[in-house]
Amino acid sequence: MATQTEKETSTIPYPRECTFSENDWEVLSSMWYPLALETELTDKPLKKKLLDVDLVLARLGGDLIVAKDLCIHRGAPLTNGWIKDDSIVCPYHGYRYDSAGHCVFVPSHPEWKIPTKLKLQTILHEVRYGIIWGCLNGNPSNQLPLWEPEVSDTKYRRFTLEPEIWNCSAGRLIENFMDNAHFSFVHQSSFGKEDSATMGADYDFTQDEYTLTMEFDYKATNPDDSPIGNAAELDRHMHRTIILPFCTRTSIRYPGDREHLIHFNIAPVSARKAQIIAVFHRNFDHDVPVEDLLAWEKKIIYEDRAIVELQRPEEIPLNIAEEVHAKADKASMALRRWMVKIGLKGEITA
């Protein structure tokens, strides 16, 4: 599907009743975020929310539109409308919009020379890896993740969980997915092994402008219901990259060149809600039904969910003195320092 990088897009203003401070919203709105899976698009407009901005997504003919969910005739939400003749039809007066956001038909005045101002506020977007990414201010300051070689190597089977919205901040969620010291406790019912606690705490760490990277070994365990089979002890070599701000690519290597990759793609819906799109690649277990693999992955991430939805304060405190940090937290400290460096203050308004 085509990108929209060459098309004219809008800069979306700070929304009303925003749960982020204006300062933090301005900083966050200048980044790419994963909005939806391409497979979520149907013959109806799709509703999403990013940073408290309601969005409409739709496939119109061979093209894709991502826009603010607002008809600027009288402010009706386009996601209550429908798709007809490769255009979105507003549910209020039936005005139709094409994939560039231009109004192309006004049913009550078919002869009217439609003002150019009658245009949707379209969002810069790009499709990569079956995910639709968007940036609200049209000028992204971060980069999209790179998923190589797993996307082009046919040895890997890909499977994806449906997007979910969790009741936690994107910051707390990404921090969980870059935290290794919790494996031995949060994941005791799946792969965590209590006497491996020091392994998750000791990792090599590097960083650059857009990424944080960690590498370490972990002795896991697996119960009977794991697709990888019951094992009292299982060596994992883990290599994880955090693509700032809120995406991770984690490679887990087991003996025998078996590799499992986890891509967590997180978007801040609002200050206390985050959407997670989890995508997996695996070069083994090809005889295991995808539903079984997904059920296993879901069980693991729901162990995380049970903790992150309870963390308080919901936002990551950017005053470093507010929480206590151990050596195992060096990656989360780097995340916090990066957030401060780009101008975030960690303020939420409601």
Which of residues 16 and 312 has its CB atom nearest to ligand FES in the complex? 16
Work out what residue 53 binds among ligand FES, Fe ion, none; the CB cut-off runs from 5 to 8 Å by kind: none
Contact of residue 340 among Fe ion, ligand FES, none (CB under 5-8 Å per partner type): none
- Site for ligand FES, residues 205 to 244, rule: CB under 6 A: none
Interaction between residue 73 and ligand FES (CB under 6 A): yes
Span of 3-11, 39-47, 89-97, 230-238 interacting with ligand FES by CB under 6 A: 89-97
C-beta separation of 93 from 81 below 8 A: no
Q: What's the min distance (Å) between Cβ of 192 and Fe ion? A: 8
Q: How far is the CB of 63 from Fe ion (least distance, A)?
A: 38
Q: By CB under 6 A, is residue 93 in contact with ligand FES? A: yes
* Cβ(5)–Cβ(126) below 8 Å: yes
Applying CB under 5 A, does 175 fall inside the site for Fe ion?
no
C-alpha torsion 311→312→315→317, nearest 10: -120
Burial of 309 (0-12, 13-18, 19+ CB in 10 A): middle
Site for ligand FES contains 120 (CB under 6 A): no
Q: Work out which of 24, 150, 175, 304 binds Fe ion, going by CB under 5 A.
A: 304
- 227: tokens are 């697709």
Taking CB under 6 A as the criterion, the residue among 74, 258, 325, 337 binding ligand FES is 74
Q: Are 121 and 70 within 8 A, CB to CB?
A: yes
Out of 95, 183, 218, 264, point to the residue binding ligand FES (CB under 6 A). 95
| H/E run at residue 265 | strand 258-270
Report d(CA 144, CA 211) in Å as an integer.
11
| Of the residues 11, 21, 40, 76, which one makes contact with ligand FES according to CB under 6 A | 76
Which of Fe ion, ligand FES, none interacts with 304 (beta carbon under 5 to 8 A by kind)?
Answer: Fe ion
Query: Is the CB of residue 49 less than 8 Å from the CB of residue 60?
Result: no
- Per CB under 6 A, 71 contacts ligand FES: yes
| 82 lines the binding site for ligand FES (CB under 6 A) | no
Integer CA distances (angstroms), 110 to 94, 96, 98, 117, in order = 11, 11, 16, 17
Instruction: Determine the residue with CB nearest Fe ion.
Output: 304
Q: Where are the beta strands (DSSP E) in 10-102?
A: 33-37, 46-50, 53-60, 63-68, 82-84, 87-89, 96-97
Q: Does residue 92 touch ligand FES according to CB under 6 A?
A: yes
Tokens of 81: 């409308």
* 8 Å CB contact between 300 and 190: yes
Q: Counting contacts by CB under 6 A, is residue 58 touching ligand FES?
A: no
Which partner from the list ligand FES, Fe ion, none does 58 bind, CB cut-off 5 to 8 Å by kind? none
Place of tokens 């079956």: 130
Q: In sequence order, which ranges of the chain are alpha helices (DSSP H)? A: 22-28, 170-177, 183-186, 197-201, 290-308, 330-341
Q: Contact region for ligand FES (CB under 6 A) — 32-40, 88-96, 223-231, 247-255?
A: 88-96
Residue number with CB closer to ligand FES (95 or 133): 95
Q: How near is the Cβ of 46 to ligand FES at its closest, in Å?
A: 18
Interacting residue ranges for ligand FES, rule: CB under 6 A: 71, 73-74, 76, 90, 92-93, 95
Interacting residue ranges for Fe ion, rule: CB under 5 A: 304
